[in-house]
Amino acid sequence: MVLEHVPLEVIPGSEAEFEAAFDVARHEVANSPGCRSIRLARCVETPNRYLLLIEWNSLADHVDGFRNSEAFTRWRGLVARFWDPLPTVLHFSDVVRMDDVTADD
């Protein structure tokens, strides 16, 4: 599994419009081969700052598959106009992962 990490700076004042466009665009990613999950989080302290996290089965599923697809072209057409600057995309693999942690863990 590979985790795509994308910090997004959205043009101030366009947050609601970006979120509406993302709601449509996310299906382009989610329906791509190898996509396991997609998550968008909004910064509490800086409301125009977001974090996009996408889990892929492999780096190739993202870089060779999705980024070279028509779905990627549609994705960017829907959401990229809100970003300033264009984001830096990084990929991570798990070292330690704990889901659904309780106090006893």
| In the block, residue with structure tokens 């990929």 | 91
Give the pLDDT score at 86: 95
Architecture per CATH, domain 2-87, reads as 2-Layer Sandwich (3.30)
- Provide the residue ranges of all domains of the chain, joining segments of one domain with +: 2-87
How many whole angstroms separate alpha carbon 8 and alpha carbon 49? 6
Q: Residue 23: is its pLDDT beyond 80? A: yes
Q: What is the pLDDT of residue 54?
A: 98
Q: Are 54 and 7 in contact (CB under 8 A)?
A: no
Q: Kindly tell me the burial class for residue 18, based on how many C-beta atoms sit within 10 Å of its own C-beta (0-12, 13-18, 19 or more).
A: buried
- For the entire predicted model, the pTM comes to 0.92
Q: What is the pLDDT of residues 27-82, one digit of tens each?
A: 999 999 999 999 999 999 999 999 999 999 999 999 999 999 999 999 999 999 99
Whole-number pLDDT of residue 100: 76
pLDDT of residue 33: 98
